[in-house]
Amino acid sequence: MNIVVCVKYVPDAQSDRTFNEADNTTDREGVEGLLSEIDEYAVEEALKLAESGEGEVTVVTVGPDQAVDAVKKALQMGADKAVHVSDEAIHGSDAAATSLILAEAIKKAAGGSNPDLVLMGMSSTDGVMGVVPAMVAERLGLPQVTYASELTLEGESVTIRRDGDAASETIVSSLPALVSVTDQINEPRYPSFKGIMAAKKKPVDTWTLADLGVDAGQVGLDAAWTKVTSFAKRPPREQGQIVTDEGDGGTKLAEFLSAQKFL
């Protein structure tokens, strides 16, 4: 079983995330970054599947130089090899262009065709659009099985369970397939000391757009199909009225609701 996991290097949500004044893109330089949290669950699921049978786990990321930290974390957790697609032309790429680069990288990493399984987190913690899995599936012509909170492989098919808004669903798909996971699917492991040492010897391939056969004109800020025209920091919410409950906190709360015309 050949599994490719796509991961993203994101600005730490605990830090002050911001934009570049020059081109309205996410500032990835001035802030600490890390492996997007939900992607750890995708890596963990891939490792579990590989460990329960024969399998190889390849981790793929697209991003600037420091994005290699995201795949290194995955290698420390136990992934076999990694690919980092890095090219100056990628800066400012939108989700559609990112999905194009990822799709080509996935195919190349799997030896020219689709791997048995592509795993991703349901969304990143910075963009939070949650559209890249669907876009990559569309580009690779793969069935897309998203928001998995349980996953089982059986022969040539994958079965997942997910909690929808109205129903709990079971979905069955043939392989190869692309599955995105939620943080309910497992408990990601921490890299062990042994894992951290072993990761230093694992191969990390760095590919450019040319290596993938992607024309630089198809990606980047100028090729984006959407454009951020302006951004503004929201004024901090003014702190409202805080009362300490002295036996009438609930009554005061109801009075506030009434004054605000919620009742």
Interaction with another protein in 202-231: which residues (CB under 8 A)? 224-231
Distance CA 255, CA 263 (A): 9
Residues 16-45 that bind another protein (CB under 8 A): 17-19, 37-38
Please report the DSSP string for 181-225 in residue order.
Answer: E-TTS--PPPPPHHHHHHHTTS-EEEE-HHHHT--GGGSSGGG-S
Task: State the Cα angle at 124 between 204 and 1, rounded to 5°.
Answer: 50
List 1, 56, 68, 130, residue binding another protein (CB under 8 A): 130
Among 169, 190, 194, 197, the residue binding another protein under the rule CB under 8 A is 169
Residue 82, beta-bridge partner list: 59, 204
Q: Does 154 bind another protein (CB under 8 A)?
A: no
- Smallest Cα–Cα separation from 101: which of 127, 131, 63? 63
Closest CB to another protein among residues 39, 87: 39
Q: In b/e form, how buried is each residue of 56-82, taking b as 16+ CB within 10 angstroms? A: bbbbbbbbbeebbbbbbbbbbbbbbbb
Instruction: Please report, as residue ranges, which positions from 54 to 93 form the binding site for another protein (by CB under 8 A).
Output: none
Q: Which lies closer to another protein via its Cβ, residue 129 or residue 197?
A: 129
Residue with tokens 């928001």: 147
Nearer to another protein, 70 or 137 (CB): 137
Among 43, 106, 118, 132, binds another protein (CB under 8 A): 132
- CB closer to another protein out of 25 and 86: 25
262 contributes a contact to another protein by CB under 8 A: yes
Single out the segment in contact with another protein by CB under 8 A; choices: 46-54, 66-74, 179-187, 196-204.
179-187
Which one of residues 174, 192, 203, 215 is an interface residue with another protein (CB under 8 A)?
Answer: 174
Which residue, 19 or 198, is less far from another protein as judged by CB? 19
CA distance 208 to 153: 33
